[in-house]
Chains A and B, each alone.
Chain A
Amino acid sequence: MKLPTRVLYVDLKRHSFSVEDRSDLFQYYIGGAGVGINLLRENCPEGVNPLGPDNPIVFAVGPLVGLYPLASKTVAMFKSPLTGNLGESHAGGRSAVAIRSAGYGAIVIKGTSETPIYLAISDKDVKFRDASGIWGIASSITVGRIIRELETGAGTRTIMRIGLAGERLVRYASVITETYRHFGRLGLGTVFGSKRLKAITVSGNHGFEVSSRKQYRETYDDIYKRAVESPVMKKYHDIGTSSNIMPLNLQRGLPTMNLKVTTSPEAEHISGENLAEKYLGRRVACAHCPVACIHIAALREPYENEPYFYKTTMIPYDYELIYGLGSMLGVFDEKAMLHLIDHVEIWGLDAMSTGVVLAWATEAQEKGLITEVETLGLALKWGDADTYVKALEHIVKQPNDFYAALSFGVEYASERYGGADFALAFGGNEMPGYHTGPVGYIGYLTGARHSHLDGAGYSIDQAAFKDKLPDAKTSAAKLLKEEAWRQILSSLVVCFFARGIYDKDTVVKTLETAGHRITSEELDRIGLEILREKNQFKVREGFKPGKLRIPGRVFETASPLGKVDERYIRESMAEFYKLLNAN
């Protein structure tokens, strides 16, 4: 039986690597987030500069990867240059299967290379390739095209890379993998850039044994059947995550124009239904996922100066991208929105952070906090995507102090220029697209990643549309329970969309076939433990839960559950941390 327990340590300064068996970590923490946070604690000294050589990048996968459908995520851990504490970001594509097939459960990358490089990791060795010739290439897509031709492993490899935003250290730069998947949040691309690491390819040929062939096949068939028959999976296959635009707009929970409003009569244009009907050109899946939730628009446009000359661009769209670069900026012309998404992909930026930063800048200019002196002549205006495209380039290249401030995130920019009340970040991370009610916000505030995915507070709000909102303490307990369980899912590295399929019994059963015996009680305990460790890391790096800022805008704009009550949020947060830190 072979669990993925080997850890590859790469030193970018010395261009050397070593391998260590860390069964100790994998047997206790399973993989992914659990192993990731422990490798981060071991390898990230207290108080390091997130952009210095001592900030490690950790990638971790888990024991179900390559064995079962929908277990295809890679967890990245690092110290975030955006928030200054925990950086954790997940991506799919082919990354997880590639890492395990190369014979590894985790990869730890340390140091800074003196010259630009990219890494080619296989089951045989690690090559440190000179990337001087591709450094400075602005487009993440072009970088992928070049490396695809240079390296082997077509069909089973991952190619993680950064665009110019990562090189120029925009604090919310992303790492793009397989063209359409991202380690989007909290600035992993920035850390790549700080290490002069343009890309990483991983491939390999290892097979994975199971404890019982018969039980493996039976369990597999059960999961496969449930996956292809599930209505949730069908929803994400047909329209994709963007099927949530219209419901959120109808519920008046879709943050629009920097959350001045929460609905728009024009939302239909950027809805998943409209995009599918007019533009859907292809669906793509992560490795081992029957759902294929990744939806790609084919945008056919003429070249301006030449008649009958067209280009077709394939642009991915998802709920959060449409929120960030569509509704949040008042861009309801779907073609203009797709353009904006395309540029964000090319530069390699986090779509949510970018949208929130531009939305704040638009309102700041509206209110006169900044003028065209700061914006270098741009008049930022809701819905004006062409101007936003120009502003994006300035954020990446930072020609003046103002754009440099924007490249640090909305928290920093509003500290410099004012307008904190409408700077929509929580714990330093720009908000996702749900203004559903108080519990969503409690989730953004208390979640270890300040993400809607941590404890899914928005779903507690949404359940209260029909029912009653639980009291503040109950909400806290529910959030904590969900976030703790999700530590298990992200240690197995199962996609959260499959959380209904991977219930506790299924997890125990699949782990058993993978060679990992564990009880469901142990799962609960370890989930909570991982969450505590993540929070301990944050506190160690200066995170102060008691001092979390809540932008006033949240209380001004009514949610589907009415005006959001600050006392409810504060009470619930206090309870959350009390429960989290209780023995």
Chain B
Amino acid sequence: MTRLNVVDSDRCVGCQLCMFACNRRFGEGGLAKSAIRVKSAGGFERGFVVVACRACPDPPCMKVCPVDALKPRKGGGVVLKSSKCIGCGHCADACPVKAVFWDEEANKPNICVHCGYCVSYCPHEVLTLKEAETI
């Protein structure tokens, strides 16, 4: 199994093409459904931070889900069972790196599935997809 990996955020120019790519998986524009975020490290003069799911082997987001909508993903991270989700937002609160984003319209979390679609649209070699380490 593969997982998304931020290789070098110092190369990041803040173009956010990864965010748009993630959203495009759902066949629409904008950023509403994106599961990755690039923000400045306190202003553009300080460079950028790439906030992405770390594919935790023991995911804190999953542990707080009251309805078992999040299941462990092989290789780390979680898979969302959307029909079960009640939109309580506990998962987003629990994520220590704040990588669970929110789709306001659907009132459900945007969960990274580590597909690597964003990687193919990063022109500056910030992101890669790598084999998940086995524990």
Residues of chain A within 8 A (CB-CB) of B33 are 207
- In the complex the two chains form, is A285's CB within 8 Å of B31's CB? no
0/1 per residue, A1-38, Cβ < 8 Å to B?
00000000000000000000000000000000000000
Pair A69/B43 contact, Cβ less than 8 Å: no
Chain A residue with minimal CB distance to B32? A207
- On whether the beta carbons of A205 and B45 are closer than 8 Å, the reply is no
Selected contact of B29 from candidates A155, A210, A284, CB within 8 Å: A210
Contacts of B29 in A (CB 8 A): 66-68, 207-210, 216, 514
Question: What is the minimal beta-carbon distance from B15 to any residue of chain A, in angstroms?
Answer: 4
Task: Give the contacts of B23-47 with A (CB-CB under 8 A).
Answer: 23-24, 26-33, 37-40, 42-45, 47
Min C-beta distance of A71 to chain B, whole Å: 10
A209–B28 touching, CB < 8 Å: yes
A285, B47: Cα distance in complex, Å: 11
Q: Verify B17–A179 contact, CB threshold 8 A.
A: no
Q: How far is the CB of B8 from chain A (nearest CB, A)?
A: 13
In the assembly, what is the distance between CA of A145 and CA of B17, in Å? 25
- For residue B58, give the distance in angstroms from its CB to the closest CB of chain A: 27
Task: Give Cα A165 to B123, complex, Å.
Answer: 38
Judging by beta carbons under 8 Å apart, are B15 and A207 in contact? no
Q: Is the beta-carbon distance between B45 and A292 smaller than 8 angstroms?
A: no
- A145, B38: Cα distance in complex, Å: 18
- Nearest Cβ in chain B — how far from A345, in angstroms? 10
Distance (whole angstroms) from the CB of B6 to the closest CB of chain A:
15
B40: A residues at CB distance < 8 A: 154-155
A178: chain B residues within 8 A (beta carbon): 44
Give the one of B14, B28, B37 with max A CB within 10 A: B14
**Looking across the interface, which residue of chain A has its beta carbon closest to that of B123?**
A290
Task: Give the nearest-CB partner of B122 in chain A.
Answer: A290
Indicate whether A427 reaches chain B with its CB closer than 8 angstroms: no
List the A side residues contacting B44 at CB < 8 Å.
178-180, 284
Q: Looking across the interface, which residue of chain A has its beta carbon closest to that of B37?
A: A155
Q: Is the CB of A289 within 8 A of B43?
A: no
CB-based contact A217/B24 at 8 Å:
yes
> From residue B31, how far is it (CB to closest CB) to chain A in Å?
6
Given A282-B47, A287-B15: A66 touches B30 (CB 8 Å cut-off): yes
Nearest A residue to B20 by beta-carbon distance? A288
List, sorted by A's number, 21 A–B pairs whose CB atoms are closer than 8 Å: A66-B20, A67-B29, A69-B17, A97-B31, A101-B30, A141-B45, A144-B43, A145-B42, A155-B38, A155-B40, A156-B37, A178-B44, A207-B29, A207-B105, A217-B27, A224-B17, A285-B13, A285-B14, A287-B16, A288-B16, A514-B29
Given A67-B29, A206-B105, A287-B15, 15 other A-B contacts at CB below 8 A? A67-B30, A97-B31, A145-B43, A179-B45, A207-B33, A209-B29, A210-B28, A210-B29, A216-B27, A217-B24, A220-B24, A285-B13, A286-B15, A289-B15, A290-B17
Binding site for A on B (CB under 8 A): 13-17, 20, 23-24, 26-33, 37-40, 42-45, 47, 51, 102-105, 121, 123-124
Interface residues of A (CB under 8 A from B): 66-69, 97, 100-101, 123, 141, 144-145, 148, 154-156, 178-180, 205-210, 213, 216-217, 220, 224, 228, 282-290, 292, 296, 314, 514
Closest 5 CB pairs of A and B: A213-B27, A155-B39, A207-B32, A67-B29, A285-B15
